[in-house]
């Protein structure tokens, strides 16, 4: 039996939604969104083919709450014509609030999982979610796909000489190891600490052998860029050659992109989970493969 798909692209992920629809040879339905001066959103969209598996594509990057509410609204409306809705949330906001770190903190990810399910999603697909624990809050089928192979392909084409992959912290070691393996180069992970109350980042590594090497700093999310900036400054002091940055989700808030470049980074490459001028890597392929 031939599976019929339809794709509804939210305001935050129009281009990515269209790319997924093209790969699936599925109709694309645009969710036309108007945001009023007071911040309220009004969403209208046209005909959604009946008896289709409908993919609702909407990242929840800043403004996070607005994009999240739009995603919930679209899923809820689609539910009127389809009982099979896949929520494709390439960048899942609030994934870092997946457990209680300090007393009294709300585990927001748990609430979001309940809302997405209640709206009508029967499956959720995300890309390089910050924490696998975040997905455990969902009681529906879930899939976390990786953009690392696509990012590695991009850097392979650059043909860097004497390259080394660097994780800005020990938590990203496995990611850096995978990235380095795809490029057939070595990797290291820096030791860092972050103050849970102030967010201040410190690099605890004292010395690393990176002299004359081209370095690729690999991370999943870059928000304010604090960790990447500290790492780049530290590596530059160790007399490395060039520093490149690769990440799945480029949030770049508070002028992060400019600050990262100022820290000595030659180029920043991110994916189109969040549309930016750095979004050189397309994840529509890995998302489509996970759905097929």
Which residues have a catalytic role annotated?
192
- Pairwise CA distance, residues 206 & 183, whole Å: 27
- Pairwise CA distance, residues 151 & 247, whole Å: 8
Cβ neighbours of residue 46 under 8 Å, at least 6 residues apart? Answer: 29, 30
10 Å Cβ neighbour count for 284?
23
């Amino acid at each position: 039996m031939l599976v019929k798909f339809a794709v509804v692209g939210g305001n935050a992920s129009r281009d990515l939604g269209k790319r997924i629809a093209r790969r699936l040879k599925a109709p694309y339905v645009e969710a036309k969104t108007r945001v009023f001066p007071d911040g309220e959103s009004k969403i209208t969209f046209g005909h959604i083919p009946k008896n289709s598996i409908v993919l609702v594509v909407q990242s929840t990057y800043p403004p996070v709450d607005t994009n999240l509410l739009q995603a919930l609204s679209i899923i809820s409306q689609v539910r009127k014509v389809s009982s099979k809705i896949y929520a494709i949330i390439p960048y899942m906001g609030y994934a870092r609030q997946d457990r209680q770190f300090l007393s009294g903190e709300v585990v927001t990810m748990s609430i979001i999982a309940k809302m997405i399910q209640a709206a009508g999603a029967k499956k959720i697909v995300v890309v390089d979610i910050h924490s696998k624990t975040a997905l455990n809050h969902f009681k529906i089928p879930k899939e976390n796909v990786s953009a690392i192979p696509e990012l590695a392909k991009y850097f392979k084409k650059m043909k860097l000489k004497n390259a080394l992959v660097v994780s800005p912290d020990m938590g990203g070691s496995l990611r850096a190891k995978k990235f380095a393996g795809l490029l057939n180069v070595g990797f290291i992970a820096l030791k860092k600490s972050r103050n849970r109350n102030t967010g201040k980042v410190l690099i605890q590594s004292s010395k690393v052998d990176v002299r004359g090497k081209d370095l690729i700093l690999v991370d999943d999310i870059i928000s304010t860029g604090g960790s990447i900036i500290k790492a780049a400054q530290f590596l530059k002091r160790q007399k490395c050659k060039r520093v490149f940055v690769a990440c799945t989700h480029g949030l770049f808030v508070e002028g992060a992109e400019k600050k990262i470049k100022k820290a000595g980074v030659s180029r920043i490459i991110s994916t189109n989970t969040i549309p930016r001028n750095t979004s050189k890597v397309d994840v529509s392929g890995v998302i489509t493969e996970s759905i097929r």
